[in-house]
Structure 1
Amino acid sequence: MKKLIGGLMAGALALSASSAFAQDALTLQLKWVTQAQFAGYLVAESKGFYDEENLDITILPGGPNIAPEQVIAGGGADIIVAWMAAAMSAREAGVPLVNIAQPFKRSGLMMICPTESEVTEVADFPGKTLGVWFFGNEYPFFAWMNKEGIPTDGSEGGVTVLQQSFDIQPMIQGQADCISVMTYNEYGQALDAGYGPDNLTIFNYTEMGNDLLEDGLYVMEDTLSDPAKVDAYTRFVRASMKGWQYALDNPDEAAQIVVDMDDTGAAELAHQRYMVEEVSKLVDPSDPALDEATYDRTVKALMDQAIIKAEPEGAFTTAVTDATN
């Protein structure tokens, strides 16, 4: 009997020890495909920073047919990377998303117009066709046009909006007079194609004061009532920012990690290296907290355009970033 009891106790202790060291599992849904836009998370996973925080992280790539807001609403992710406009729109539609951290402090969004478009200022837009991404990416553009008082329905004095592919082909093929690009992605494609400041008019959303918050981290509101979940989120953010710092300090290695972690084989090393360099201008790895002034400006722009109808309440929390220090 003593042997049996001893065996049971040993088994119980082993089970207890196993539970104590069991990693907390979290699934992160990216906004887009595996690329250096998400280098901090990919590096944190590759370098073991999540393991150091006792986390088991699954990173899901996004794509043109994947809406992170829908994925988390359906229970397919614990945390998503999303632009605030899309997240606030989803929140108003009944998906209670809450921003827990904001690694990207500045917008990477621009609109570029080649010389042949004869666009040199905003006043030249009426009558032109402008390429815009949709699936939640269109909100900053429409907020900008609303601010300028330019109709977007193709009417006289307005612009025609082309639902743009996620590349620069609409500009090269002459389908649009101007197109949307990200500083860290499509603009690099334009440079490779022979375009640049000498033959482009560039409208930088940040420089114009029209930037809306982009890649933030969002969770479902009800999960924040669970202290254990909040603790896991805190460890996730802390490890992720460590990943961002490492990526920006070691851009060559970070680019290689991105390429290695891309299961599709589409990521090209030189382009990912360019992306890391450009993303470094947008991310502050030392401060994951949401800037409330920028949040307020983003919300105002969304309300002015009626993208959201009411000012959101409880749409962000500082509990996670306050605890990462």
Structure 2
Amino acid sequence: MKKTLIILSLSIFTLTLFSQQKKETSLRFLPHWIPQAQFAGFIIAYEKGIYKKYGLNVELLTGGPNRSSLDWLAEKKTEICASWLSSALQVRDKNVKLINIAQLIQKSALMLVAKKGRGINTINDLNGKKVAMWQKDFKIQPDALFKKNGIDVIPYPLSETQDIFIRDVVDVTSVMLYNEYHLLINCGYDKGDLTIFNFQDYDLNFPEDGIYVLEDFYNKNKQACQDFVTASLEGWEYAFNHEEETLKLVKKYLTKAKYAANEMHQLWMLRQMKILFQPSGGQKIGELRENDYDNVVKILKESSNIKQSISFKDFYRSLYDSP
């Protein structure tokens, strides 16, 4: 009898293990940029086995300037990707049926930085000034800001460095709060000598990093998609609370991808991500606010970057909906 119970217990264990293995879902995830602290939560969720805990076999793909995460999603080279809301809406406008399943960055990290020494203290002082801007999606908010305030600027294309700002070729430059702004401070600029223009202060807030899937994939794998978001948020919480361990892993991924890894810069980036993730007004972490969404759609239509008005309900699926 005892032998029979042992055999039965082993059989149940084997069936349970087989069932768990059978239910494991394989996913590829592609960030929209290089593996820096901007994506630390995903790295942690992978390295700490959090995805595995939720029954997910995740392959972390390496993003970068020559690999569009949304193009890869459309071409089904990845099941899940990260990207900006404004970028995703433009792809959706081209009839690629993607949806947002989590909104991570709630505030625009993109900013304009001006030199007070050039007489720039208010928005109207930008009129007639030389402004360095990145192209495509990075140019939408600055252009909307200038149009809204009746400002004419002299535009300059901005490369991967801030050399034209540092060398005084331009009066104003575009930066990301968690990246280039910190680099400018490290170059010797005093915060008191700079005027910051935050787009959310001018009703031009664009939530940035979000998680996207194709609608068809979501409909067939709703639980796996929600588990991916839950596991990723768990990874982010761990990353924010274990900075030293997180930075070591980020450095490992940057080195593997052949990028320089400055620990202090990555620490700044990680801490700024924590701030940018914070929800407001009763909103839950990872949620996309409908008024933010509607505002981005409105600005994209006014600037002729999209033609269709996609409803919030059609575009967004909340983690907090029942699977």
Question: What TM-score do the two structures reach when normalised by structure 1?
Answer: 0.86
Aligned residues: 305
Q: CA RMSD in A?
A: 2.4
What is the CA–CA distance in structure 2 between the aligned matches of 1:117 and 1:80, rounded to whole Å? 41
CA contact (8 A) 2:105 2:210 kept: yes
CA contact (8 A) 2:218 2:225 kept: no
What is the CA–CA distance in structure 2 between the aligned matches of 1:315 and 1:147, rounded to whole Å? 29
The aligned runs of 1:237-252 (5 Å cut-off) are: 237-252=229-244
What is the CA–CA distance in structure 2 between the aligned matches of 1:267 and 1:107, rounded to whole Å? 24
Q: 1:107 matched to which residue of 2?
A: 108
Choose 132-141 or 238-247, whichever is displaced more: 132-141
The change in CA–CA distance for 1:17 and 1:51 in structure 2 (over 3 A counts) is closer
Q: 2:6 matched to which residue of 1?
A: none
CA contact (8 A) 1:183 1:278 kept: yes
CA contact (8 A) 1:85 1:212 kept: yes
CA displacement at 1:135 relative to structure 2 = 4.3
What is the CA–CA distance in structure 2 between the aligned matches of 1:62 and 1:174, rounded to whole Å? 32
The change in CA–CA distance for 1:323 and 1:181 in structure 2 (over 3 A counts) is farther
Letter in 2 for 1:318: R
Q: 1:8 matched to which residue of 2?
A: none
Larger helix fraction of residues? 2
What is the CA–CA distance in structure 1 between the aligned matches of 2:231 and 2:168, rounded to whole Å? 44
Letter in 2 for 1:187: Y
Percent sequence identity over matched residues?
A: 32
Letter in 1 for 2:165: M
Q: 2:133 matched to which residue of 1?
A: 132
CA displacement at 1:202 relative to structure 2 = 0.9
CA deviations on 1:208-242 (whole Å, 9 max, x unpaired) are: 3321110011111222321xx11111110000000
Choose which of 151, 168, 174 in structure 2 pairs with 1:174: 168
The aligned runs of 1:72-87 (5 Å cut-off) are: 72-87=73-88
What is the CA–CA distance in structure 2 between the aligned matches of 1:177 and 1:279, rounded to whole Å? 27
- 1:256 aligns to what SS in structure 2? helix
What is the CA–CA distance in structure 1 between the aligned matches of 2:150 and 2:216, rounded to whole Å? 39
Unaligned runs of 5+ in 1: 1-12, 151-157
The change in CA–CA distance for 1:149 and 1:60 in structure 2 (over 3 A counts) is farther
The aligned runs of 1:84-233 (5 Å cut-off) are: 84-150=85-151, 158-226=152-220, 229-233=221-225
What is the CA–CA distance in structure 1 between the aligned matches of 2:202 and 2:119, rounded to whole Å? 20
Question: What TM-score do the two structures reach when normalised by structure 2?
Answer: 0.86
CA contact (8 A) 2:287 2:318 kept: no
The change in CA–CA distance for 1:210 and 1:276 in structure 2 (over 3 A counts) is same
Q: 2:305 matched to which residue of 1?
A: 307
The change in CA–CA distance for 1:117 and 1:18 in structure 2 (over 3 A counts) is farther
What is the CA–CA distance in structure 2 between the aligned matches of 1:164 and 1:171, rounded to whole Å? 9
What is the CA–CA distance in structure 1 between the aligned matches of 2:136 and 2:75, rounded to whole Å? 17
CA deviations on 1:60-117 (whole Å, 9 max, x unpaired) are: 2322222222111111111111111111111112222211111212221111012343
Choose which of 282, 294, 297 in structure 1 pairs with 2:295: 297
CA displacement at 1:20 relative to structure 2 = 4.0
What is the CA–CA distance in structure 1 between the aligned matches of 2:169 and 2:200, rounded to whole Å? 26
Q: 2:263 matched to which residue of 1?
A: 269
CA contact (8 A) 1:101 1:321 kept: no
CA contact (8 A) 1:85 1:140 kept: no
- 1:100 aligns to what SS in structure 2? strand
What is the CA–CA distance in structure 2 between the aligned matches of 1:189 and 1:101, rounded to whole Å? 29
The change in CA–CA distance for 1:146 and 1:307 in structure 2 (over 3 A counts) is farther
CA contact (8 A) 2:20 2:55 kept: no
The change in CA–CA distance for 1:320 and 1:280 in structure 2 (over 3 A counts) is closer
What is the CA–CA distance in structure 1 between the aligned matches of 2:54 and 2:64, rounded to whole Å? 28
- 2:275 aligns to what SS in structure 1? coil
What is the CA–CA distance in structure 2 between the aligned matches of 1:29 and 1:251, rounded to whole Å? 23
Q: 1:62 matched to which residue of 2?
A: 63
- 2:192 aligns to what SS in structure 1? coil
